[in-house]
Amino acid sequence: MAAAPELLPYEQIRKDLFRPLSGVSRNYLLATLCAFVVGAAGLVAWGYQLGSGMGVTGLRRPVYWGFYIVDFVFWIGISHAGTLISAILRLTDAAWRKPVTRAAEAITVFALMIGGMFPIIHLGRAWLFFWLLPYPNSRLLWPNFRSPLLWDLTAIVTYLTGSVIYLYLPLIPDMAQLAEHNTPWRRRFYRTLSLGWTGSDREWHALERAMKLMSCIILAVAVSVHTVVAWDFAMAIAPMWHSTIFGPYFVAGAIFSGIAALLVVMAALRKILHLEDYLTRHHFNNLAKLLLLMSLLWFYFTIAENLTVWYGNEPKEMAVFGARTRAHYAPYFWIMVVLNFVIPFVLLGIRRLRTIRTATIAASCVLAGMWLERFVIVVPTLANPRLPAASGFYAPTWVEIAITAATFAAMAMLYMVFSKLFPIIAVWEFKPHPQEED
């Protein structure tokens, strides 16, 4: 069995964790190229949509929110991986968090960047995005601050700013170390970003204080961001959207999908960067237990949300409920339940079955299941509005599918570039902490 990473000599830790930054393998280049091709295809599709208009998508009356809003909610949910999980583990001083936090914080930043793109893609005329900014237009009319669209903008800007700072702060000491022994351009790059860090006690004290404060602040922001996303739906008086539990339901779902994303990324990093000594079974086991807990919580919320609608038997709500569970969208709904609850419950609930491989399989299922959950929430309600005559159907076109696929490729590409520029595990945090020694 491999030794606990904290017990390895510091020189060894530094060597192992800085090694992935140098050299580029053929597999890495191939993976980057694949991601680039898929990403480029998405850009072409978006260009086609900008040139031809929103008619090239599957968005038709009455379903005006389709894949783009599903993707938006999904990626904002994934962004809860990092900052929220990292902040909770940091505040509770969980020792096993050390190899996990940076990978999680990076997911947050990239997922937010990708998720934040979707409202702009969905606008159609993306070049008029600046109309959302608080300045008066040519008729001296200000943006409507009561609109959830503007709430989204402020929430995402705040969360992205906080997440970038939260990722950047603990990177500073590592970048200062990287600036010592490196190629000239990298030395310049790291020296600039590390702001002349010297390792003085004033700097360490300030860093630790800032990280603690940021952990508290970012927790509140993360919860608020997904609540605001939930309110995009819940503030509308649409069947099965106008629900008081939508805020916590979305937050629980976001943490659920966030943990799943973190597990998948960790499994990939472990394999590709050969970090078997650092991302051990212990870390996967702990995260798998968290995933199982969130799966149970998600199932509870899903039951609570659907059972009350079924018991109330209100015709408009029942039309959506029927579409979700028995009619056109039923396959998506039941696959979602299997992916989000049945598979994780079996693979992670039975101790004998809980391994790194099964945790990764369960996490992948949850990612697919949570994307379906967003689809099942968004589309059936719009397809079955309060006016029965206005009922419709939604099927995405190749444009929406290409753009959606491109976002996954963009995530992979951003992560691959990040892992070549910065250590994916915080090296300085691996040293035994004085308080832990005491």
Q: Taking Cα atoms as reference points, which of 269, 321, 285, 318 lies closest to residue 107? A: 269
Shortest Cβ distance from residue 10 to another protein (Å)? 5
Which CB sits closer to another protein, 27 or 198? Answer: 198
Angstrom distances, CA of residue 303 to CA of 53, 296, 307: 40, 11, 6
Shortest Cβ distance from residue 159 to another protein (Å)? 8
Whole-angstrom distance, CA of residue 7 vs CA of residue 341? 37
Residue type, 220: A
Whole-angstrom distance, CA of residue 121 vs CA of residue 127? 10
Binding residues vs another protein (CB under 8 A): 10-11, 14, 134, 136, 140-142, 145-146, 150-151, 154-155, 157-158, 161-162, 165, 169, 173, 177, 195-210, 213-214, 217-218, 220-221, 224, 228, 231, 428, 431, 433-435
Whole-angstrom distance, CA of residue 367 vs CA of residue 424? 22
Shortest Cβ distance from residue 187 to another protein (Å)? 15
Which CB sits closer to another protein, 11 or 23? Answer: 11
DSSP state of 213: H
Which CB sits closer to another protein, 182 or 355? Answer: 182
Which CB sits closer to another protein, 76 or 365? Answer: 76
Contact between 385 and 356 under an 8 Å Cβ cutoff? The reply is no
Shortest Cβ distance from residue 182 to another protein (Å)? 16
Which CB sits closer to another protein, 209 or 271? Answer: 209
Which CB sits closer to another protein, 44 or 235? Answer: 235
Whole-angstrom distance, CA of residue 372 vs CA of residue 71? 10
- Residue 429 CB coordination number (10 Å): 16
Residue with tokens 């491109």: 406
Residue with tokens 């922001």: 221
Shortest Cβ distance from residue 319 to another protein (Å)? 30
Shortest Cβ distance from residue 154 to another protein (Å)? 4
